[in-house]
Amino acid sequence: MENVYLILVGVLFLLAISDLIVGVSNDAVNFLNAAVGSRVASFKVIVFVASLGVLVGAVSSSGMMEVARKGIFHPQMFYFSEIMIIFLAVMTTDIIMLDTFNSLGMPTSTTVSIVFELLGAAVGMATIKLSASAQSLASFKQFLFHNHLIESVNQTLSLGDFINSSKALAIISGILFSVVVAFIVGALIQYIARIIFSFNYKKRMKWFGGLWGGIAFTAITYFIVIKGVHSATYLTDEDKNWILSNTAIILWGGFVFWTVFLQLLNWVFKINILKTIVIVGTFSLALAFAGNDLVNFIGVPIAGYNAFEIFMHNPSADPGTVSMIGMAGKVATPVYFLLIAGLVMMLTLAFSKKARTVIKTSVDLSRQDEGDERFKSNAISKALVRSSINFSKGVSKVVPAPIASFVNRQFENSTVHAKEKDAPAFDLIRASVTLVVASLLIALGTSLTLPLSTTYVTFMVAMGTSLADKAWDRESAVYRISGVFSVIGGWFITAFIAFSTAFIVVYLFSYGGIIGIFIILALVAFLVFRSYRVHNKKVKEKDSENEGVYSITDENLLERSNATVISNLKKIVREYRHTIELLDKEHVKDLKKTKKVLDDMAVRTKYLKDHVNVIIGRLEEQSIDSGYLMVQVLDYMREMIHSISFFNQPVLEHVDNNHKPLLEEQIKELKKLSSYLDKLVKVIMQSILSSDYSVQEELLKIQEEALIYLEGSRKNQIRRIKKGEVGTRNSMLFLNMLTESKNLFLQAVNLFKAQRDFTQYKNGL
């Protein structure tokens, strides 16, 4: 039997490695956001600095994994076999949870996840024990009595005897507090910093950079001292007490030293103080993350290992009767476990694409310039923006004109990044404020024993600083606020999902036995692998789109436009024909595939249109007309894609709802229209490929024939309606398909003309 549980302990550690990967991918945003967003260095350098911090933090991490063993539930209330199921359920749930959030690019709290997974799994196992047979429960009570865990065997057991819920309640109550405080403090400090330094901060940094650096480095020192001392295994209790009792002296001395030292470095060696702050701040946050959040990833497997060691003292005993009372004490974590965990975290930082996706969400929501807005606006964001505008107008009437003018000058940003692919999302002033404020709040929360989440604090500070920096202007505010609410909403449902999923998995493991456990673990492995492949595919597609936009120049603009138009025209004709054929055959599954292809086309074309300012910005000054003509081409191409989408969607709904199929003569009429569209598009594509646009008369003739035939089909449908041959659903679908077909024929010729004008202009004709 011990061999089976040895395998399960091995599985726990394999799950730990997987959890480290998905966990670091989620939490990397905590300490990489400021450095990546400000482009303080290359991504490789940033990752190297953060990796060093992670490794140092992991090795010096707390040797006590208290949360996993006894922070949420009382281990002495469970037997070995039960506690192993709890730990397996927790790790399985954690991987599913974090991988899902990472795939969506949504940062969440690993602390909240692990706490509520432990709570859900423990509650699940406790309910199983409480619902056991009367004989089993009496035996368990007798065991508790003999071990002095209850006063009487007649005492009624309840969930409260199994669960230590105060920790979970403390964390969940601290969420709202940390979110609000982090946002407000971040916004306030950033506003003051921008008033002092403005966007043109280089001259002022020459004289006041040392002072700003002294404040920042003192804050980082305080962060490391307060946050790091508690978990440092290399310090004795006496050393820790001395450091904590002399914190004020250390900080004041550090402030004087850093101010003078950094100012001299700036004057003598021209060292960029802001870059130094961001790099060191990234290192310190990464160190603290590994030192304090490592328990979220390996605490449970190590607790499982401790439980197995207790079980091995009684190898011949029944796993269902071995008490876990020994886990209630303190057990140090072997250093080699911490070192291996640190190395895994380093490799994840270097190679995880999902980590970059999560970072991108945070950076996009806080970037200074306009661009892709991932989130759609909602009623709440619209109301908040409208209220803010009205409030701002009211304040402007009260504030004296000279003061308002001075403040406005401080927020004037003349930097334009439209032509740069890797332009910073925000400047080094904001990056340094974000890191310093986040460090201070986390350190302050630790010193006051407040249950703050690193993820919540760092994210909300970044959002607060971006608001104060006027990054959320009227062009983007509704989308950014909607995005922030989406992320925060994800945080609040994290606890519920973690609890309920772990609860369910415990039941599946308990009643499925060893075979059930391995089947579910295999399924989870498959889902994570599939998620990894799908995410990588999306990342490659997005990178390809970005590369396509930012590599456009005057020289290759026409070639790129021709290739895009031809590619889309081919797909439109193909999917138009497929939609008719699948409608005739009533193939719902293939119609959904067709819709996906059309949706992808729409997204890609919208991406080009949304980034037209980037494309035009990269063209030469004399190419204004070229940009205008290219916009026309994009507009007509989008109209065609809209038409084919509106052509396909009602067909899918019609077939999916199992409505009556179209008549044979209706399908024939649609196929005839398909042949006309195919003929029209072939002439257009051949014309574009050969740069011969003398075929306009031929195109107009094909278009005219198609439209005449289409009108004939519409009249035929009216006759069928009058004769009662078709019903309402049939008529609505068929007439809609004719309308969108007409739009396709009209827009195809318009696209041809726009591409002709664009080509002739580029060729100087």
Structure tokens of 533? 């492949």
Choosing from 484, 515, 546, the residue where a domain stops is: 515
More confident residue, 326 or 550: 326
The Cα 338–Cα 545 span in angstroms is 40
More confident residue, 90 or 367: 90
Token pair 């057991």: residue = 157
The Cα 686–Cα 688 span in angstroms is 5
The Cα 284–Cα 290 span in angstroms is 10
The Cα 519–Cα 206 span in angstroms is 63
Pair 507, 559 in one domain = no
Q: Residue 293's closest CA among 234, 231, 347, 346?
A: 231
| Within-domain flag for 520 | no
Cβ atoms of 327 and 310 closer than 8 Å:
yes
Pair 498, 589 in one domain = no
* Confidence label for 441 from pLDDT (cuts 50, 70 and 90): confident
Interval 53-76 mean pLDDT: 65
Choosing from 515, 536, 571, the residue where a domain stops is: 515
* Confidence label for 743 from pLDDT (cuts 50, 70 and 90): very high
Pair 494, 609 in one domain = no
Amino acid 479: pLDDT: 79
Helix/strand/coil percent split, the chain, to 5: 80, 0, 20
Cβ atoms of 278 and 432 closer than 8 Å:
yes
Least confident range from 210-214, 425-429, 472-476, 695-699: namely 472-476
Amino acid 87: pLDDT: 87
- pLDDT > 70: percent of the chain: 80
Amino acid 416: pLDDT: 46
Contacts with 122 (C-beta within 8 Å, 6 or more apart), sequence order: 72, 73, 78, 86, 162, 163
Name the most confidently modeled range: 298-312, 410-424, 726-740.
726-740
Pair 728, 664 in one domain = yes
Pair 440, 393 in one domain = yes
pLDDT digits (tens, 9 = 90+) for 211-253: 988 988 888 887 777 656 655 555 677 877 888 788 888 889 9
Amino acid 149: pLDDT: 57
Domain count, the chain: 2
Other C-beta atoms lying within 10 Å of the C-beta of residue 320: 10
| Within-domain flag for 116 | yes
Pair 484, 616 in one domain = no
The Cα 765–Cα 346 span in angstroms is 58
Cβ atoms of 293 and 231 closer than 8 Å:
no
Alpha helices (runs of H) in 352-453, residue ranges in sequence order: 353-366, 379-398, 401-410, 428-447
Contacts with 689 (C-beta within 8 Å, 6 or more apart), sequence order: 562, 566
Amino acid 732: pLDDT: 92
Using CA atoms of 651, 652, 653, 654 in order, give the dihedral in degrees to the nearest 10. Answer: 50
What letter represents residue 119's amino acid? L
The Cα 8–Cα 6 span in angstroms is 5
Pair 284, 398 in one domain = yes
Task: Transcribe 372-399 into DSSP letters.
Answer: ---SPP-HHHHHHHHHHHHHHHHHHHHS
Using CA atoms of 252, 257, 260, 265 in order, give the dihedral in degrees to the nearest 10. Answer: -140
More confident residue, 384 or 277: 277
Using CA atoms of 384, 386, 392, 395 in order, give the dihedral in degrees to the nearest 10. Answer: -90
Question: What region, left, alpha or beta, does residue 724 occupy, with left being phi > 0 and alpha being psi -120 to 50 degrees?
Answer: left
SS3 453: coil
Using CA atoms of 343, 346, 347, 349 in order, give the dihedral in degrees to the nearest 10. Answer: 160
Inter-CA distances, 507 with 99, 125, 132, 500, Å: 22, 8, 13, 11
Contacts with 338 (C-beta within 8 Å, 6 or more apart), sequence order: 58, 59, 61, 294
Inter-CA distances, 77 with 110, 331, 383, 431, Å: 26, 18, 51, 48
The Cα 2–Cα 4 span in angstroms is 5
Interval 392-402 mean pLDDT: 81
* Confidence label for 153 from pLDDT (cuts 50, 70 and 90): very low
* Confidence label for 151 from pLDDT (cuts 50, 70 and 90): low
CATH at 730 = 1.20.58.220
* Confidence label for 640 from pLDDT (cuts 50, 70 and 90): very high
pLDDT digits (tens, 9 = 90+) for 507-532: 999 888 888 888 888 888 888 788 77
Least confident range from 3-12, 93-102, 357-366, 541-550: namely 541-550
Contacts made by residues 723-730, CB under 8 angstroms, sequence distance 24+ = 725/663, 726/663, 727/660, 729/654, 729/659, 729/660, 730/659, 730/660, 730/662, 730/663, 730/666
Q: How many CA atoms lie within 13 A of 370 on its CB side?
A: 12
Pair 193, 266 in one domain = yes
Name the most confidently modeled range: 75-79, 157-161, 655-659.
655-659
| pLDDT greater than 70 at residue 540 | no
More confident residue, 686 or 370: 686
| Within-domain flag for 535 | no
Contacts with 136 (C-beta within 8 Å, 6 or more apart), sequence order: none
Least confident range from 121-130, 182-191, 315-324: namely 315-324
Q: In this structure, what are the phi and psi dihedrals at residue 500, rounded to the nearest 5 degrees?
A: -65, -40
| Within-domain flag for 70 | yes
Structure tokens of 75? 């281990």
Angle at CA of residue 211, ends 209 and 214, nearest 5°: 105
Name the most confidently modeled range: 168-177, 354-363, 450-459, 644-653.
644-653
pLDDT digits (tens, 9 = 90+) for 589-623: 999 999 998 988 888 887 777 666 666 665 554 45
* Confidence label for 669 from pLDDT (cuts 50, 70 and 90): very high
Least confident range from 126-135, 228-237, 479-488, 606-615: namely 228-237
| pLDDT greater than 80 at residue 145 | no
DSSP state of 67: I
Contacts with 532 (C-beta within 8 Å, 6 or more apart), sequence order: 354
| pLDDT greater than 70 at residue 60 | no
| Within-domain flag for 543 | no
Structural domain boundaries, residue 670: 554-762
Using CA atoms of 283, 285, 290, 295 in order, give the dihedral in degrees to the nearest 10. Answer: 180
| pLDDT greater than 70 at residue 410 | yes
Cβ atoms of 370 and 423 closer than 8 Å:
no
Amino acid 539: pLDDT: 61
Choosing from 464, 490, 515, the residue where a domain stops is: 515
Burial label, 456 (beta-carbon count in 10 A; 0-12, 13-18, 19+): buried
Amino acid 419: pLDDT: 47
| Within-domain flag for 395 | yes
Q: What is the pTM of this model?
A: 0.71
The Cα 44–Cα 131 span in angstroms is 55
Inter-CA distances, 349 with 16, 35, 50, 77, 456, Å: 16, 14, 8, 39, 20
Amino acid 260: pLDDT: 92
Q: What is the mean pLDDT of the chain?
A: 80
Pair 511, 558 in one domain = no
Pair 362, 255 in one domain = yes
Interval 31-42 mean pLDDT: 85
Alpha helices (runs of H) in 691-727, residue ranges in sequence order: 696-723
Pair 509, 646 in one domain = no
| pLDDT greater than 50 at residue 348 | yes
Pair 295, 344 in one domain = yes
SS3 64: strand
Q: How far is CA 320 from the centre of its chain?
A: 42
| Within-domain flag for 538 | no
| pLDDT greater than 70 at residue 267 | yes
| Within-domain flag for 566 | yes
Amino acid 237: pLDDT: 75
Structure tokens of 33? 């956001």
Residue count of the chain? 765
Amino acid 616: pLDDT: 65
Burial label, 690 (beta-carbon count in 10 A; 0-12, 13-18, 19+): exposed
Task: Transcribe 203-245 into DSSP letters.
Answer: HHHHHHHHHHHHHHHHHHHHHHHHHHHTT-TTS-HHHHHHHHH
More confident residue, 463 or 444: 463
